[in-house]
Each structure stands twice: as C-alpha cells, then as structure tokens.
Amino acid sequence: MTRMTFAEAARCALAAEMRRDPLVWALGEDLVQGGIFGQYKGLAGEFGTDRIVSTPISESTIMGAGLGAALCGTRPVIEMRIADFTLCAMDELVSQIAKVRYMFGGQGRAALVVRMPQGMWRNSAAQHSQCLEAWLTHIPGLVVVAPGTPADAAGLLAAAIRSDDPVVLMEPKNLWTTEGEVPDDITPVPFGIARHAAEGDALTVVTWSATVPVVEQAARESGIACDVFDLRSLWPWDEAAVVASVRRTGRLLVVHEAVTVSGFGAEIVARVVEGVGPGGLRAIERLGAPRAPVPFSPPLEDAMRITPARVAQAIRRVANT
C-alpha cells in the first residue's frame, strides 16, 4: 500500500496498463502536457506521443476516432477533459460506441474507456460542473463506473481498460487531490460490486463518486450505525447488496451530487421498493442537487453542495422516521 492522491492513483493504473498491453493508448486534449488534473503526467515521456496523443479540441472526433481505433483492434482510453464536453460528442458515444456491437450483430466491439471527470470543482459554474451519470446509465451498451476513492480510481480504470465493453469512467473532479491508500500491485476492481464502507443496522446509505468521503464522514460523525455502500459502478450496480441491506434496516438514504430529479437515485429507490416490497420500508430519502444549474459564486455554490452536515441531518431524519 502506498498513500497517494486520486490523480496519482489513476496515473499509475494507466501507466501499468500501458506497460502491460502495447495496444492501450490514450487520446485527448493536453495529454502530453499531463492532462488538466495531472493524471497523465509524465506518460508521454515513457510511452511516446503516438500512445499519449494530444488532440485538437474536437470532441466528436476524439470520441469517434476512439471508436474507429477500437474497431481496428487497439484499446483506446478516450479523455473528455470534463464530462460536460462529452455533450459535444454525444452522437459518437450514444449512437455509435454504445450501438456498434449490437447493430452490427456482434461483428465488432468497442473495447474502449471514456474518461469524463465530473461534478463540482472550484467554482467552475454551470457548464463545468455537471453530473451526467443518469443520462449514461440510461443507454444500453455502456458500462458506467464512478470511483469514490483513490484505490478504486486505480482499480476501476484498470478494469475498464481490460473490459471488452465500452466503459464510461466518471472521475470526481473534486477528489483528484484527495489522498488514500492504494495497493502497490493495482488489480482490476470488478464491476457491479459495491464497497461496503461501513456497517450498521439503523439505515442503509448508498452513494458514489464525489459524495463518498462526504457520506463516510457524516456517517462517522452522526453517531448512528449506518450501513454505507459506495456503489463504485452504476451500471451494472450492486442491487443485491443494497436490497439485502434494506431488508435488514428498513430504511434507505441515497446521496448523490447530481440533480435529484431523474437522478440515478430514483432508479435505486425504485429497484429497492420492487425488491423489498412497499411494506418492507419505513423511510426513504434521496439527497441530491436541486434542479438548477450550478452557480459560480462560492456561497451560491455552497448552497447546493452536499456537505457532511447535510448528510448527517438526512441520516438522522431517516433513522428517526
């Protein structure tokens, strides 16, 4: 184990995968210079500019070229810089990458990774702060993962690169500098298995991505025995673990950074209700963002931010209902 930041963990994982497999390569803006969060730092020096490719600001082509390259046998890591810019490449992701295997009857596969750092980051306002995971879990053909710790940033990236499915990797912008213990030998983290972050009987709390450390802190400080799950991957997601937990606790709180309305939390609540039956639940709550764009000014942004205090309040509400 080594203590390192989220960005460093992701960088190490990519480097290890590139050493292991010469068909792995990365393309996106400013990669040779290290990427905007330092997650590609030094890689061009080791692997050359044919495998760490700095591209023009051409999101459609970054995404579409990644697909073409995958169809010709390589394993591209497509860097979108931030999730918001994926919107400029939505056709390539949704109508090409997610469809190619199915539409062509299994003749070809899009074995690629799309990295899209998401969420709030340093007052960057409405066009640089979005959480779009619910859009993408809705699209058949995509695997959607959202690490919440440095160890998972590494393990899920390794798994994504080795996967023959197209994997969307939503890295939380706010956690790039967060430190954690990372195994020296990075091993792939399997999709669809939640990390059981804390055990307790009072309620089940489900979260992922940037709100993972927030929820862990709130759970510790609340003094309430929470069963906390960091989902790690959203499609597939660990429905079995969550449903089993709620069967025991009878109470569910879902916390995510994204807008609550039509967020992935709605899917979780629906599946849990189907799983335990309406009579099996005493309380349900979703904690997310209001249906408003993310503002710029610090106090305005803070008004929307999911904080440990807000989560702790919600934990108490749900536990005591």
Partner 1 sequence: MSGTSNETARRMAMLRDMARIRAFEREAVAAMRSGEAPGVVHPSIGQEGVAVGVCANLKRADRITSTHRGHGHAIAKGADARAMMLELHGRAGGSCGGKGGSMHIADFAVGMLGANGVVGAGIPIACGAAQAIRLTKEDAIVACFFGDGAVNRGPFLEGMNWAALYRLPVLFVCEDNGFAAFTRNSAVTAGGGPAVRAEACGVPATAVDGEDVLAVDAVTADLVARIRAGAGPQFLHAICYRWEGHTGTDAAAYRPADEAAAARGRDAIRRLAAVLEAEGIAAGEIAGIEAQAAAEMASHRAAAMAAPWPDPGAAYSDVQDAGAPA
| Complex with partner 1: residue 27 or 269, whichever CB lies closer | 27
Q: Which of 5, 39, 86, 96 binds partner 1 (CB under 8 A)?
A: 96
What is the distance in angstroms between the CA of the first residue and the CA of the last residue of the chain?
41
- Rule CB under 8 A: say whether 174 interacts with partner 1: no
Nearest CA to 182 out of 151, 159, 157, 213 is that of 151
- Rule CB under 8 A: say whether 71 interacts with partner 1: yes
Q: Which of 101, 115, 195, 256 binds partner 1 (CB under 8 A)?
A: 101
- Rule CB under 8 A: say whether 63 interacts with partner 1: yes
Q: Which of 8, 84, 92, 257 binds partner 1 (CB under 8 A)?
A: 92
- Provide the minimum distance between the beta carbon of 233 and partner 1 in the complex, in angstroms, as a whole number: 8
- Concerning whether 128 is annotated as a catalytic residue, the answer is yes
Q: Which of 65, 125, 225, 266 binds partner 1 (CB under 8 A)?
A: 65
- Rule CB under 8 A: say whether 222 interacts with partner 1: no
| Complex with partner 1: residue 71 or 125, whichever CB lies closer | 71
| Complex with partner 1: residue 106 or 278, whichever CB lies closer | 106
CA angle 16, 21, 24 (to 5 degrees): 90
Integer Cα distance of 264 and 259 in angstroms: 9
Residues belonging to the chain: 321
Question: What residues does 227 pair with on adjacent strands?
Answer: 204
Which helix (H) or strand (E) covers residue 283, if one does? strand 283-289
- Rule CB under 8 A: say whether 194 interacts with partner 1: no
| Complex with partner 1: residue 73 or 279, whichever CB lies closer | 73
Q: Which of 1, 72, 278, 279 binds partner 1 (CB under 8 A)?
A: 72
Integer Cα distance of 198 and 193 in angstroms: 15
Q: Is the separation of the CB atoms in 83 and 170 below 8 Å?
A: yes
Q: Is 63 exposed, middle or buried (0-12, 13-18, 19+ CB in 10 A)?
A: buried
- Rule CB under 8 A: say whether 241 interacts with partner 1: no
Which helix (H) or strand (E) covers residue 288, if one does? strand 283-289
Query: Which listed range, 96-104, 203-211, 240-248, 270-278, lies at the site for partner 1 (CB under 8 A)?
Result: 96-104
Q: Is the separation of the CB atoms in 273 and 250 below 8 Å?
A: no
- Provide the minimum distance between the beta carbon of 91 and partner 1 in the complex, in angstroms, as a whole number: 6
- Rule CB under 8 A: say whether 34 interacts with partner 1: no
Residue 122, phi-psi category: left (phi > 0), alpha (psi -120 to 50), beta (remainder)? left
Q: Is the separation of the CB atoms in 198 and 228 below 8 Å?
A: yes
Nearest CA to 282 out of 227, 239, 320, 240 is that of 320
Q: Which of 64, 263, 265, 288 binds partner 1 (CB under 8 A)?
A: 64
Catalytic residues: 128
Q: Which residues bind partner 1 (CB under 8 A)?
A: 23, 25, 27, 50-51, 53, 55-56, 58, 60-61, 63-74, 76, 91-92, 95-96, 100-108, 140-143, 163-166, 191-192, 235-237
